[in-house]
Structure 1
């Protein structure tokens, strides 16, 4: 068994298995349109250096692979920083803007080391050679000290590395922990830990960087997490912005660590909120997520005034307040491709080349479910229903589908399918109780909500019950395989991408951070509550699978490892169940655009052969 971080040998490189040749062909203009949405270059919201805001860092797929790019705003120059076959996702800037830090893993396995490169260009250097390779668990960079978290199969370690000094491990635990924040004057550090037993609801601990003395602890009790967002950007100001969920949703408080006092920010907004500081520390840039859309606000800390920023209806994927007071954000909606713009309108950063084609608007549906009202999003193709329909279920499970631009969703609509997204129990954006409702019964709980939406849309005449497809990636892939086995009468086909397929084997092979998450979600390890894992494992229900299934698997996936997928495929083989498999040489998904297009191509080919649009 290959452990995470171990590279494939040349003679075991994975190639795609051949797909059938009797594939229905979409009109050339349809194929060109959906592929253009993937191929059109994109850029991320630029990060910028605290003490050199003219120096920015962003990711882009302009080369065909997601890589990191440096941008000097003073000179207008852009430079590609990383160039690796399977792309580079994690990167940040030092406060002075002189150094780029980027994370080097092996073929997408997420196990590796931090590297540095001068902002102006130059050789790459291993940043923390004494710390060693691992899964990353937080990184905070100061001018005098660096804080780095690492996770391995043995648990978590947190390190402090003084400039020119000896690295020191200041915390180790078999449980999940992460470096969260460093004060602006670098005198205090805060980290999250799960010593209370549940990594979903972390506690916070503050230490002095000089001497590592304990300053304060904060924990809100069982079932209530605390998340350190950032210290005040003003040197000497020891206020820490914290996310909490004391009233059943994500809210904010400011913890004055020096005085050990806190102030909850009571904002009259119905959904979850998060925030970051304005650079002078006088206000917060607040993000508000509700019903699959998001908004931005400026909250003045002195007056308590909450003023909404003028952004179009849709989804803000990230936002930052610049030193001059302007706000930059990444925005899209279901029809309109992503744009990096200022809140007052001007485009900040655009990728070269043609913009991607527009897509399709989503409709909201609110459906009574067994655990409360379920929010779903619907896109209909041209023509009258009932339609052949793809239920594209999101991963996570702590995530949500929203009114943002999705090239994959649009590809299915181009091919003639209606698309349904279900924000099932377990999704974020609908309060803590909704998010946590799957605890002790994961998978089966979410599928009850999917079934409720399915039944409602069949009754409405939107979905043809004989032509419904279930598909998803990661946790969505897990739900797909579980749904094919527990609801075989509903589904005409299934497409499971990088799924959990055999939950007990997945637990044995996955990264330790996910094992800790699973223990909290299931109520213990497989040794302690084996029946709970068996009840939620797709492998348990493989005999009942009736629909053809396509499985897409990453060879180096540390989250949904390959052995447990192979176990499920072998069970399908033994029972003569119709299935196909596509393997790719990367991890939990791909950062290579042509590989992503190939995977969507294989999925569309499969569904067109089995479920006529």
Structure 2
């Protein structure tokens, strides 16, 4: 390493980080630091303090906020504990406290993606434990006690049915030989019980919500091949004296719409979100009549794809007002709506929201910011944040290292437009030679119904601080742009998403914002498939990295879990009737198109995209002489949760890009084996 790089490295360490104070402000670790004149270095070789390890050190995910009595509870994920989810407790005036000890891990596997795995009522907690998928009753200070049997059962979305002293949960029964059976069940709260079935007969059940007085329940269901963002059915019912459902109503039996997040007003008026007019928004539901609640907003999404159980997008306040999370493209706003339809956007400075609780005139929610780590905060109804209760990280980057985002729209060769979020290279101690453009990483989200976020993204700054640009792609199929845009991928997976990735990279290169000879694509899950498909069908990209991506679409149709087992009917076509499309769209069947180097990363315990998907394409490319590398991780499922694996994967990526694109990073990186690299 040169003396110049060594000096820059010392300057980098002095300038990089800030500490987070309790009121949400940032204070520099070195207030007296002197400005450093940027040194001219090639893009991709800039020294950076944002190491792969720093992305996970002290990091924690925060979600699932619940208030019970005077206490607030939430879940925290801990990458440094293998991705374990623990339970935190806090009350105003005290410090947050962890109350659940290892090895308990609060995470349900219902639909594999889980959600709503914690319930609190009357000082008692019930949670789903990941290792055995049993529900445990937990009184803080005592040992958790299992209340469901040691059987192949999973539970999620539980609520406490106070009039009948029981839990109401979604149960997924894996004890049979065929597909698991999803049902709405009632559980005894204090003794071992497998549940009494209240509703079944549909492929999926979700979002059970009790009215405030416990007299009514609402929930949704759907059938194969639909996903919950395709066509769902809204039900409501009351209870007889034995607690069984009676007067069951089906509110939209013949409607091709996604109905999600049913809730009850205090007067037992049923409200639910529907995308029947192209944009998810709330409706008052009476029988089969859906009356839109006027929000005064157009072309915004109040709702999203229910990959997990229990998602919420609006809340009722005691005075009849509603709080809504409204998404426009990649940015969310928190909106206060009164009975007259008058609305006010709360100026919180956040760009994403979740887990909201209203208590004594104050709002408590998780907030994502563009320029600092996300946090659990307290705010007034005017939107002013008055207290930061818990941050997702104790440290943050100084502003000089944070690349600002730009939402971009670019034209498509086939007509129309696609979207993305562009992050330019940024490093206060380095600059590129004039007349040069940065290597570009096109990041493709999964789902494929996901959306590129604009909140604090250190995983992007890892690249931008080293002299890469990033395009976080919102290809057709993404959420935030209406149902028509989301459904534009139907029947076209492997075509429109691939075109959008290629077009976005080419457009940025034409603008001088990316080096046309160093275009990179990376993605996980569905984004991994797009990464593989664009290598098979286009020559736009010079390198790529697929995280647990699909190489054989037909094999995936035959070997995946129930929730997504018919998803490809929508994205590709009915199987096996349209087997020809599955063969045609599978990258493994188009090896002649592969020439650019490819990195494959895979969890060996992945039930959603099994390891053979990565192994097949690796073996095939290796035998054909294409530069390729395969990095597999024991004990990892779909998405890497363990800190050591997240670090290894990120460093493997940088090492791979450096070797195959001739870059000279300032980092000392562990090597990986790259086959066929001359």
TM class, shorter-length: 0.7 to 0.9
Please point out which of 248, 253, 258 is paired with 1:215.
Answer: 248
Cα pair distance change 1:448/1:86, threshold 3 Å: farther
Hey, what does 2:616 align to over in structure 1? Answer: 567
Matched-pair contact (CA < 8 Å) for 2:107–2:129: yes
Q: Distance in 2 between matches of 1:338 and 1:447?
A: 31
1:563 shift after superposition: 2.4
Supply the RMSD in Å over aligned alpha carbons: 2.9
Cα pair distance change 1:142/1:611, threshold 3 Å: farther
Alignment of 1:165-204 (within 5 A): 167-173=195-201, 175-195=203-223, 198-199=226-227, 200-204=230-234
Hey, what does 1:483 align to over in structure 2? Answer: 534
Moved more, 591-600 or 549-558: 591-600
1:471 shift after superposition: 0.3
Determine whether 1:503 maps to 2:540. Answer: no
1:60 shift after superposition: 4.1
1:409-447 CA-partner distances (Å, limit 9, x unpaired): 111112221111221100000010000001112121111
Determine whether 1:442 maps to 2:442. Answer: no
Alignment of 1:267-278 (within 5 A): 267-270=295-298, 271-274=300-303, 275-278=313-316
Cα pair distance change 1:272/1:34, threshold 3 Å: same
Please point out which of 340, 344, 355 is paired with 1:307.
Answer: 344
Hey, what does 2:409 align to over in structure 1? Answer: 366
Cα pair distance change 1:179/1:351, threshold 3 Å: closer
1:528 shift after superposition: 2.1
Matched-pair contact (CA < 8 Å) for 1:182–1:190: yes
Q: Distance in 2 between matches of 1:248 and 1:28?
A: 45
Determine whether 1:379 maps to 2:423. Answer: yes
Please point out which of 157, 179, 183 is paired with 1:154.
Answer: 179
1:327 shift after superposition: 1.7
Hey, what does 2:66 align to over in structure 1? Answer: 48
Hey, what does 1:13 align to over in structure 2? Answer: none
Determine whether 1:78 maps to 2:97. Answer: yes
1:179 shift after superposition: 4.4
Cα pair distance change 1:357/1:431, threshold 3 Å: same
Hey, what does 1:289 align to over in structure 2? Answer: 327
Q: Distance in 2 between matches of 1:577 and 1:378?
A: 30
Q: Distance in 1 between matches of 2:166 and 2:134?
A: 15
Hey, what does 1:536 align to over in structure 2? Answer: 585
Hey, what does 2:74 align to over in structure 1? Answer: 57
Tell me, which stretches of 5 or more residues in structure 1 are unaligned?
Answer: 1-23, 107-111
Alignment of 1:315-326 (within 5 A): 315-326=351-362
Matched-pair contact (CA < 8 Å) for 2:167–2:187: yes
1:336-375 CA-partner distances (Å, limit 9, x unpaired): 2222222311233224974132421112221122352212
Cα pair distance change 1:595/1:361, threshold 3 Å: same
Alignment of 1:406-485 (within 5 A): 406-485=457-536
Matched-pair contact (CA < 8 Å) for 1:485–1:543: yes
Moved more, 373-382 or 117-126: 117-126
Q: Distance in 2 between matches of 1:483 and 1:203?
A: 36
Secondary structure of 2:489's aligned partner: coil
Cα pair distance change 1:238/1:387, threshold 3 Å: same
Secondary structure of 1:189's aligned partner: strand
Matched-pair contact (CA < 8 Å) for 1:279–1:321: no
Q: Distance in 2 between matches of 1:63 and 1:38?
A: 7
Moved more, 147-156 or 552-561: 147-156
Q: Distance in 1 between matches of 2:587 and 2:652?
A: 23
Matched-pair contact (CA < 8 Å) for 1:393–1:471: yes
Cα pair distance change 1:82/1:501, threshold 3 Å: farther
Tell me, which stretches of 5 or more residues in structure 2 are unaligned?
Answer: 1-41, 109-114, 304-312, 426-430, 664-678
Q: Distance in 2 between matches of 1:470 and 1:55?
A: 41
Cα pair distance change 1:316/1:472, threshold 3 Å: same
Please point out which of 514, 517, 525 is paired with 2:564.
Answer: 514
Please point out which of 396, 401, 422 is paired with 1:356.
Answer: 396
Matched-pair contact (CA < 8 Å) for 1:140–1:179: no
Aligned residue pair count: 574
1:546-600 CA-partner distances (Å, limit 9, x unpaired): 1111111111112111123222223223323321111112101122223212211
Secondary structure of 1:558's aligned partner: coil
Hey, what does 1:11 align to over in structure 2? Answer: none
1:261 shift after superposition: 5.7
1:159 shift after superposition: 3.5
Hey, what does 2:673 align to over in structure 1? Answer: none
Q: Distance in 2 between matches of 1:187 and 1:299?
A: 27
Secondary structure of 1:208's aligned partner: strand
Secondary structure of 1:465's aligned partner: coil
Larger radius of gyration: 2
